[in-house]
Amino acid sequence: MMKLGVNIDHVATVREARYRGQVHGEPDPVAAALVSEAAGAHGITAHLREDRRHIQDRDVLALRRQIRTRLNLEMADIPEIVEIALKLKPDIVCLVPERRQEVTTEGGLDVSGHFQSLEITRRRMNEAGIEVSLFITPDPVQIEASARTGSQFIELHTGAFAEAFAQPADRDREFQRLLEGARQAQSLGLQVNAGHGLNYENVHWMQRIPGLVELNIGHSIVSRALRVGMAQAVRDMLQAMAAVPEH
């Protein structure tokens, strides 16, 4: 059964819109994480960005203390954040590209182009007891490079699939890339997660990819939570993930 990791970044986005620079404020992303766990989420994902645009250092510290499932820290491979991760000791880190101008992470890592740095960071994390995932597009070159770093996981970037979902031919082409990427990664000994742009309408397609471990989903859940509450939004996503795939 695929697991659900709930990304709480955009709960913090709403808080920071009013309370940026303050040490309190609402809504509280940690409270949202605890509600998500109680509703059945298998893990919590938070992205500590270099510019601290949403999640703050105090948030990840509180998450580490309070959640009882799996803490996935999304992060760029930069010295400051690497040192924070090594002290925080999340269960897993997902290394992602990061650009100041983007609203959310828009592309995958260039693992082959930054192999040495990523391999060093992977080794340091593993030595501290932290698993490592690399967020990549389903590109054979990047998948092969990811395996060579010694990482335990990749997370396949599902954004192109999500964006193409309303156009059947484009959707099918992008889905095939995901399917082939997952098979290649698994043949190289990598475990495979997926995320970005997944929502209540398209998430059941991920059941067609054998062996996916976890889906990391944030924006769609937080959006629905504005109408039905966080707990119900998480339960709805778990139900959508379990829906029978269409053929």
What are the b/e assignments for 120-147, b being 16+ CB within 10 Å? ebbeebeeeebbbbbbbbbbeebbebbb
Catalytic residue of the set 16, 37, 74, 174: 74
- Report the sign of the C-alpha dihedral through residues 174, 175, 178, 184, in that order: negative
Q: What are the helix and strand counts (H, E) for the chain?
A: 10, 8
* 246 has catalytic annotation: no
Catalytic residue of the set 10, 42, 157, 196: 196
Q: How far is CA 171 from CA 89, 202, 244, in A?
A: 38, 10, 18
* 74 has catalytic annotation: yes
Q: Which tokens in the block code for residue 234? A: 């998480």
Q: Give ∠ CA 83-84-90 in degrees, rounded to 5.
A: 115
* 54 has catalytic annotation: no
Q: Is 31 helix (H, G, I), strand (E, B) or coil?
A: helix
- Give me the residues paired with residue 47 across strands: 74
Tokens 């880190």 correspond to 93
Spatial contact of 12 and 6, defined as CB atoms under 8 Å apart? no
Distance from C-alpha of 206 to C-alpha of 239, rounded to nearest angstrom: 13
Catalytic residue of the set 10, 47, 54, 157: 47
Q: Is 222 helix (H, G, I), strand (E, B) or coil?
A: helix
Distance from C-alpha of 97 to C-alpha of 64, rounded to nearest angstrom: 23
The catalytic residues are 47, 74, 196
